Amino acid sequence: MKRNNKELNRALSSRQMQMIALGGTIGVGLFMGSSATIKWTGPSVLLAYGLAGLVLYIVMRALGEMLYVDPSTGSFANYASEYIHPLAGYLTAWSNVFQYLVVGISEVIAVGQYLNYWWPNLPDWISGTIVIVTLCIANLVSVKAYGELEFWFALIKVLTIIFMLILGALVILLGLGNNWHPLGFSNLWSHGGFFTGGFKGFIFALSIVIASYQGVEVIGITAGEAKNPQVTVIKSIKSIVARILLFYIGSIFIIVTIYPWNQLANVGSPFVETFSRVGISAAAAIINFVLVTAAMSGCNSGIFSSSRMLYTLGLKKEINDKFTRLSSKGVPVLPVLTISTGILLGLLLNEILPYFVKSSSNIFVLVYSSSVLPGMVPWFVILFSQLKFRKIKKNELTDHPFKLPLYPFSSYFAILALSLTLLFMFFNPETRVSVIVGAIFLIIMSLIFWRTHRNN
């Protein structure tokens, strides 16, 4: 039975929203070692995570300021249309769909590879299909079912990180697993110093680090389905940034303190090595299980986030009105099915293309990396929207309890930092292509927008 209205069901609790945001940000990359960032700048990567964390804090506080007044589904896409230009809202929504579709495909492919640890003869497409169908059903049942599934996925990751932080601290301070000879902190400045890559290496690392934080803005998309959104959203944002920074910076600190930064390429997963070091023989199996849940969590967040953006596009008449129809549980059925089908097609193409195109693996690498620039669009949009929001909503800000500190300087600082990051990504040979491909996507979507709206 279908609901007659187009209001999504507000069923997400603060507990679920916090874990959804954590799950969308803490991904497989952290558990596999973050070697790409460490190789550029050595131990000073900690400062890169800290600086990127400051930008993250500003973006999330700016988002929270607007969400308190208008907690709508597809929030930052709506803000972009209202406070910047309809094109900005259009690009934001499609960037989010593109980003999470790509993320969903890559995470499902990763699940198949991780399951090979236990079932080496199981074809990746079979395990991937099972995962997609399972997550699709969970998203179709109700938003509460999605939130609960994502809560437990994220909780597994969080508990693993906390356990790793405790074990790492014991290794460093007490010498656990090292014949009770404390390792100390000398690896932070030995092996070439703290800034091993100089200013250039630090900035290159910063661009990758900022990309690793992408996904936390999903908390804004959940606002339209949150219980008591003003209280829930603000509570979630207040705690989520601190937790993300603790988990990321804490984990990287343990890694670069225990292991010489220039030897990490030979370590594999630092999480596995740390667990093994203190005598946990099943370390590889434990971390592999965590990687499976982390990848499923990423795909789960992808289905939820991008389906809500398709729903928002439907409300704005940018796509067929059928995308706004809701189930009796308040779930946008067609958007969920569309995104799930898109991820399934991506999975199958990944299996089929190698038989026809020898360089197909390179094609997929380009597609995956191309989501970095579209993934930054929501951050820019949030910051520019908040600047206009402040001017328009002056009366509603009088007793506002969650205003962005140091406005407007903090907003301008974050915009400048993101702009410089994009610039250096273009100059970095390892990230240049991803920026170009992402820019091509945005240009194509802009042309489609102007073509479809030229008579409006």
How is the chain split into domains, by residue range?
A: 14-109+143-298+360-451
d(CA 385, CA 343) in angstroms, rounded, equals 31
Task: Specify the pLDDT at position 11.
Answer: 60
Amino acid at 225: E
Instruction: State how far the Cα of 158 lies from the Cα of 307, in Å rounded to an integer.
Output: 26
User: Tens of pLDDT along 309-319?
Assistant: 898 888 888 88
Q: CB of 309 within 8 A of CB of 101?
A: no
On the question of pLDDT at 364 being above 80, the answer is: no
- DSSP tag of 327: B
Report d(CA 368, CA 438) in Å as an integer: 10
pLDDT computed for residue 23 by the predictor: 66
pLDDT value at position 415?
95
pLDDT mean over 201-220: 77
The rounded distance, in Å, linking the Cα atoms of 268 and 274 is: 11
Indicate if the pLDDT at residue 249 is higher than 80.
yes
Q: Which residue has the higher pLDDT, 230 or 86?
A: 86
CA 220 to chain centre: 13
> Over the stretch 126-171, which tens digit does the pLDDT of each residue have?
989 999 999 999 889 877 777 788 888 888 888 888 888 888 889 8
Nearest to 128 by CA among 292, 311, 364: 292
Find the mean pLDDT for residues 335-343. 94
Helix 86-115 / helix 333-352 crossing angle, nearest 10 deg: 50
- The tokens describing 35, both together, are 């070697």
Domain 14-109+143-298+360-451 has CATH 1.20.1740.10: yes
Structure-block tokens of residue 221 = 């998309």
Contacts (Cβ under 8 Å, ≥6 apart) of 66: 75, 79, 382, 385, 386, 389
At 435, is the secondary structure helix, strand, or coil? helix
pLDDT at 142: 79
Assign 409 a pLDDT band (cuts: 50, 70, 90).
very high
